[in-house]
């Protein structure tokens, strides 16, 4: 019954000093460098020529994709492959060994020696593997293997290691006779999880299905390049055991056995991740943390990043407001956010520069988020002021999933994810529908979104293509802001809306369509290009100030309510491409370079009006404009290693921005002046922003890394603020960081270290910052600013299933030179040396999650889990020297998984803290009394305690 596994262990024990694997580095999310590395690591390959027993791990398991990928290059290297008689002599033996373990073995036996690639020219003889036939095929001229000729031929590449198995479970088999082991190609992500099981010719057989399902539970120590975990592909053999007595996982039964032994002989690695994404201790890859504490949506997930606070103060149809490391990023002006490489920030948006809305994202298909705080990567473009975030989509769970949840405030949500079996993790279709009555008053609404992504083709066989489609629509009412004194004096409830027609008419509505096609080739060098089409429409009715506005066009029209309607429609087309070179250099100095290009055109129609509820009669026009904005960018990025202890990454980025503005009611003539012109203000402007980015990483000890980073970035201006022929006044950003990362070397129960600690001091200076101006419901210039801070993050995995993270950020954000008082602005809200408004100096976030299998019920494992999250924001300063109190929020969840069912009970804001999601300070007039012209604190309420029960069924 357990024959397969026993034989595997027997086979593993017969390892020799000779085996081989082929490594080609691949990039998963980014495009590409392919480094093909030859390492002669040998794991468990039998030295004798006997045919290994059925089920033995990996004998002869080599890369078969490489020859396909290398067809184009075959001719160039063919001659070379004929010149190694020593290798061809080894072929029969290797072929024999491979016969029993590989379906392709028979085919490779018939391979002509002259067609074989020269396999081991670069490896030292003692390290050289005995090539099987398949190995020779793999080493035919290829951009992914070692067989191809390259400048650094023969030299070892430092700090490269293949993936190794941490835990593996045989596939259960319900029938009496066990099938032969399945040999499959799996794609392993940088965290060591199986991303994708590549379908083979037998993909539609039950054996493949069972093997594929079992592989999802395997865990690997990921491949590493220059010390950084990267994606890789590896062939593995999956053995079968009778399903009545499932084999326990390796980690449970044989913890004293090194993973490499279990990994089996001849595991051939096709390591393709090339681009070193990590740029230091402020570069975070969020994956397992995403589901520690309850996450209602993508914003909750993004909130796991250190120093980041995100909430949605205006309602479900308006983008989240984000604070990151001392920046009030508003709705996106200071953080560049993308999904699968497609930028979400909208240029010159009426509601705020860089506006973005994350509500279209479906949390069930968010696989990870890369958050880069600071400016360290030349790929970071416009809006990467405080940092950037890239959402990666995928569904590790294959098949159909249905999820439904219901909870407080009559909130219901349905989600469905369909991920075709056998397809790559990146192929799925997901749908969500959600509606709520909303907490408190005037917050009801609904939204729905669809995300579909399909990938086809293989990196190893040329290009892998990917098409992403997004559709989203939402409409929510909004309670808007409340004066704090009105709440304190009982005139309005904390979660209420003003009993006023104009206040009750506040709402938001949004639509989004996004289409992206990308193609990626991975090899020794690699290429990716993509085209993105987007259409976004936004409409907001919001009243911040009550009744203080008067019509500009008809001054006698006044007091109809400051219900400010903002409209924005953007059609965008963008293209991007990047090329990552093959490795170059020799000796201690090695590296790659990357060239990247991007182009984007935005056609924007926007307007703003004052409207009178409930008939929405227009009583003033404030904005009516068309904008055409173009951004052409390019960068070069080097990834250099000077030794195995010193690495330098960085380059230069340049962006050219062009603006063409048709402001149809610009040059407005007040009615008390004699009209000598017609309304309208057409203008254009252009400018170039160039900025270097550099990261130096030193590795003084295997447990420690020290980073220094310097970067210059930019934020483009809102187009309507520009004058004709103005050299575009980009907001220049200078960012300096010094940090350290410590971690234990031995992995814990997962594939990651037991203990990780990072800390970085950062200094950022902006040439011309902006801050939110409530009266205009948009931002206003406040002059240069400076931030000095420290961000630290601790991650611990002390027990199997237990994960904890703790992060804190302190930032001193100071206004350096605010605009002086003027006739138009005699009472500026900001003064020199004042702390920047809205920004909490201290942000602390703690998350703990624990998951454990409890028992078996009806042959199915029952596992329980619990999660807890805590957020602390210190007092936040406001304009006019006001401030709002600190925030403490706790979230918790418990859940159980059994068979196809997953049940979760989550509580947000466990202690029912009553706090302001966001606070503002400005003058308003809501009541019937004498108007106060003093700035007063206004708040938007954060959600009270809310309970949600969620059931997910896997079909």
Partner 1 sequence: MRHWIAICAFVTLTGCALETGADELALPVIAGGSEARETLILESADGWSLDIEEARVAFGALYLCASEMAGDFCEVARGEMLETIVIDGLAAPEEVATLFVESADVRSLMFDLGIRHELRETDPVTLSPLPEGASVLLRGNASREDRVEPFEFAFRIEPLQAGTTTVRRSMETHTPAATDQLLVELNLANLVREMRFSPYLEAGTLEDTQTLRALRLAIMAQRAIEISWNEPSQE
Residue ranges that bind partner 1, judged by CB under 8 A: 547-550, 558-561, 759, 761, 775, 788-790, 810, 812, 814, 821, 823-824, 826-827, 829, 831-835, 841, 877, 880-881, 922-923, 925, 929-935
Q: Is 744 or 881 the residue whose CB approaches partner 1 more closely?
A: 881
Cα-to-chain-centroid distance, residue 944: 29
Q: How far is the CB of 663 from partner 1 (least distance, A)?
A: 23
Which of 726/812 has CB closer to partner 1?
A: 812
Q: Give the separation between CA 803 and CA 795, rounded to whole angstroms.
A: 7
Nearest residue to 428 via CA among 437, 436, 439, 420: 420
Nearer to partner 1, 137 or 620 (CB): 620
Which of 697, 740, 788, 29 minimizes the C-alpha distance to 379? 29
Q: In terms of CB distance, is 215 or 548 closer to partner 1?
A: 548
| Shortest spacing between CB 810 and partner 1, in angstroms | 5
Minimum distance from residue 829 beta carbon to partner 1 (Å): 8
What single DSSP character describes residue 582? Answer: P
Between 908 and 924, CB nearer to partner 1: 924
Maximum Cα–Cα distance across the chain: 102
What is the closest distance, in whole angstroms, from the C-beta atom of residue 41 to partner 1 in the complex?
39
Is 776 within 8 Å of 352 (Cβ atoms)?
Answer: no
Q: Which residue, 550 or 781, has its beta carbon nearer to partner 1?
A: 550
- Least distance to partner 1 from the beta carbon of 930, Å? 5
> What distance in Å separates the CA atoms of residue 412 and residue 510, rounded to the nearest whole number?
20
Strand partners, 849: 803, 867
User: What's the closest the beta carbon of residue 827 comes to partner 1, in angstroms?
Assistant: 4
- Identify which of residues 548 and 699 has a Cβ nearer to partner 1 in the complex: 548
The set of residues, in sequence order, having a beta carbon less than 8 Å from that of 896 and lying 6+ positions away, is 862, 863, 864, 865, 902, 903
Distance CA 132, CA 134 (A): 5
Q: Which DSSP category does 397 fall into?
A: S
Give me the least distance between CB of 811 and partner 1, in Å please.
8
For 857, other C-beta atoms within 10 Å of its C-beta total 10
Name which of 790, 787, 792, 742 is nearest 306 in CA terms.
792
Three-state DSSP class for residue 122: coil
Least Å distance, CB 839 to partner 1, is 11
CB of 503 to partner 1, least distance (A): 13
- Beta carbon nearer to partner 1, 427 or 882: 882
CB 563 within 8 A of CB 611: yes
Nearest approach, Cβ of residue 931 and partner 1 (Å):
6
Got the DSSP string for 70-83? TGGGHHHHHHHHTT
Closest distance of CB 840 from partner 1, Å: 11
Q: Which is nearer to partner 1, 110 or 934 (CB)?
A: 934
What SS3 state is found at 431?
strand
Q: Please give the Cα distance from 75 to 123 (Å, whole number).
A: 22
Length of the chain: 955
Which helix (H) or strand (E) covers residue 772, if one does? strand 755-773
Nearest approach, Cβ of 309 to partner 1 (angstroms)? 18
Dist. CA 271–CA 523, nearest whole Å: 10
Give me the least distance between CB of 814 and partner 1, in Å please.
Answer: 5
- Minimum gap (Å) between residue 560 Cβ and partner 1: 7
Cα angle for residues 748, 363, 568 (degrees, 5° grid): 140
Phi, psi of 597 (to 5 degrees): -135, 145
**Full DSSP string of 870-937:** EEEE--EEEGGGEEE--EEEEEEEEEEEETTEEEEEEEESTT----EEEEEEE--B-SSSPPP-S-EE
CA distance 183 to 195: 17
Three-state SS at 134: helix
**Is 29 exposed, middle or buried (CB count within 10 Å of its CB: 0-12, 13-18, 19+)?**
buried
Locate 74 and state its tokens: 């075959």
**Two tokens at 757?**
């600690």
Kindly tell me which of 360 and 544 has the beta carbon lying closer to partner 1. 544
For partner 1, which is the closer residue by CB, 465 or 781? Answer: 781
Cβ proximity to partner 1, 97 vs 762, nearer residue: 762
CA distance to 166, 547, 774, 909, per residue, from 924 (Å): 62, 7, 10, 30
- Nearer to partner 1 (CB atom), residue 3 or residue 550: 550
Rounded CA separation 629/655 (Å): 13
Report, in Å, the least distance between residue 752 CB and partner 1: 24
**Residue whose CB is less far from partner 1, 258 or 703:** 703
Least CB distance to partner 1 at residue 808 (A): 10
CB-count burial class (<10 Å; 0-12, 13-18, 19+) for 448? middle
CA distance 765 to 235: 49
Please state the closest distance from residue 938 (CB atom) to partner 1, in A. Answer: 14
Minimum Å gap between C-beta 932 and partner 1 is 6
Both structure tokens of 611: 């409207």
Q: Where are the beta strands (DSSP E) in 287-427?
A: 308-311, 321-324, 327-328, 335-339, 342-343, 366-373, 387-393, 399-407, 411-419
Closest CB to partner 1 among 243 and 881? 881
């Amino acid at each position: 019954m357990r024959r397969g596994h026993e034989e595997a262990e027997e086979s593993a024990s017969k390892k020799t000093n000779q085996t081989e694997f082929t490594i080609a580095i691949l990039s998963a999310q980014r495009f590409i460098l392919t480094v093909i590395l030859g390492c002669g690591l040998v794991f468990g390959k039998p030295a004798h020529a006997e045919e290994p027993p059925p089920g033995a791990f990996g004998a002869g398991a080599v890369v078969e994709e490489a020859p396909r990928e290398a067809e184009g290059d075959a001719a160039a290297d063919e001659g070379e492959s004929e010149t190694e008689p020593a290798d061809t002599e080894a072929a029969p033996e290797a072929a024999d060994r491979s016969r029993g373990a590989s379906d392709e073995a028979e085919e490779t036996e018939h391979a002509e020696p002259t067609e074989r690639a020269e396999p081991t020219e670069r490896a030292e003889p003692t390290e050289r593997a005995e090539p099987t036939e398949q190995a020779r095929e793999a080493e035919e001229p290829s951009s992914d293997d070692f067989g191809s000729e390259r400048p650094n031929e023969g030299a070892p590449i430092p700090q490269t290691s293949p993936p190794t198995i941490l835990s593996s479970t045989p596939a259960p088999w319900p029938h009496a006779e066990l099938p032969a082991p399945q040999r499959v190609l799996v794609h392993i992500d940088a965290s060591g999880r199986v991303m994708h099981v590549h379908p083979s010719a037998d993909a539609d057989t039950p054996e493949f299905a069972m093997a594929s399902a079992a592989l999802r539970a395997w865990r690997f120590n990921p491949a590493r390049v220059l010390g950084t975990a990267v994606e890789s592909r590896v062939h593995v053999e999956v053995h079968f055991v009778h399903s009545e007595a499932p084999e326990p996982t390796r980690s449970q039964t044989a913890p004293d056995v090194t993973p490499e032994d279990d990994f089996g002989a001849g595991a051939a690695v096709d390591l393709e991740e090339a681009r070193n994404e990590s740029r230091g201790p402020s570069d975070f890859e969020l994956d397992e943390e995403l589901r520690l504490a309850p996450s209602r949506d993508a914003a909750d997930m993004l909130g796991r990043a250190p120093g980041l606070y995100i909430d949605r103060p205006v309602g479900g149809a308006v983008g989240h407001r984000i604070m990151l490391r001392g920046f009030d990023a508003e709705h996106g002006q200071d953080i560049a956010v993308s999904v699968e490489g497609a930028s979400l920030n909208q240029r010159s948006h009426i509601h705020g520069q860089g506006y973005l809305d994350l509500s279209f994202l479906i949390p069930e298909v968010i696989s990870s988020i890369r958050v880069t705080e600071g400016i360290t990567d030349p790929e970071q473009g416009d809006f990467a002021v405080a940092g950037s975030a890239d959402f990666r989509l995928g569904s590790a769970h294959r098949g159909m999933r249905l999820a439904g949840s219901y909870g407080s405030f009559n909130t219901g949500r349905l989600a469905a994810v369909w991920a075709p079996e056998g397809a790559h993790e990146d192929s799925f279709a997901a749908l969500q529908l959600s509606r709520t009555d909303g907490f408190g008053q005037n917050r009801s609404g609904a939204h729905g979104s669809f995300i579909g992504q399909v990938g086809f083709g293989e990196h190893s066989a040329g290009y892998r293509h990917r098409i992403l489609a997004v559709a989203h629509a939402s409409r929510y009412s909004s309670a808007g802001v409340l004066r704090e004194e009105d709440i304190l004096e009982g005139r309005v409830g904390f979660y209420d809306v003003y009993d006023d027609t104009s206040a009750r008419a506040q709402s938001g509505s949004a639509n989004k369509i996004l289409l992206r096609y990308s193609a990626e080739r991975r090899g020794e060098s690699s290429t990716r290009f993509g085209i993105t089409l987007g259409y976004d429409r936004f409409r907001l009715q919001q009243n911040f100030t009550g009744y203080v506005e008067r019509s500009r066009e008809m001054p006698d029209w006044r007091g109809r309510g400051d219900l400010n309607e903002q409209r924005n429609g953007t059609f965008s087309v963008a293209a991007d491409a990047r090329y990552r070179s093959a490795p170059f250099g020799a000796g201690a100095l090695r590296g790659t370079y990357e060239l990247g290009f991007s182009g984007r055109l935005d056609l924007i129609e926007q307007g703003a009006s004052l409207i009178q509820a409930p008939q929405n009669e227009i009583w003033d026009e404030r904005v009516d404009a068309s904008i055409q904005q173009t951004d052409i960018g390019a960068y070069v990025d080097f990834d250099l290693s000077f030794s195995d202890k010193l690495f330098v990454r960085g380059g230069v980025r340049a962006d050219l921005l062009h603006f063409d503005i048709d402001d149809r009611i610009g040059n407005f003539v007040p009615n008390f002046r004699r009209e000598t012109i017609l309304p309208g203000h057409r203008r254009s402007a252009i400018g170039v922003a160039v900025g270097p980015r550099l990261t130096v990483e030193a590795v003084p000890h295997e447990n420690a890394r020290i980073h220094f980073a310097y970067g210059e970035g930019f934020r483009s201006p809102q187009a309507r603020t520009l004058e004709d022929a103005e050299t575009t006044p980009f907001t220049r950003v200078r960012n300096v960081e010094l940090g350290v990362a410590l971690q234990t070397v031995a992995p814990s129960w997962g594939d990651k270290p037991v203990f990780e600690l990072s800390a970085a001091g950062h200094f950022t200076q902006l040439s011309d910052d902006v801050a939110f101006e409530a009266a205009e419901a948009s931002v206003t210039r406040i002059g240069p600013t400076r931030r000095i801070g420290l961000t630290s993050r601790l991650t611990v995995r002390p027990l199997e299933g237990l994960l904890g993270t703790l992060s804190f950020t302190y930032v001193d954000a100071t206004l350096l030179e605010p605009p002086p008082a003027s006739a138009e602005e005699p009472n500026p809200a900001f003064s020199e040396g004042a702390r920047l408004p809205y920004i909490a100096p201290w942000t602390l976030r703690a998350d703990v999650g624990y998951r454990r299998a409890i028992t078996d019920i009806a042959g199915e494992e029952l596992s329980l889990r619990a999660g807890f999250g805590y957020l602390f924001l210190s007092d936040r300063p406001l304009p006019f020297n006001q401030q709002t109190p600190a925030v403490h929020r706790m979230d918790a969840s418990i859940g159980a998984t059994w068979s196809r069912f997953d049940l979760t009970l989550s509580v947000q804001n466990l202690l029912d803290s009553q706090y302001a999601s966001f606070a503002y300070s400005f003058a308003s007039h809501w009541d019937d009394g004498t108007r106060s012209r003093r700035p007063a604190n206004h708040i938007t309420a954060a959600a009270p305690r809310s309970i949600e029960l969620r059931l997910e069924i896997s079909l």
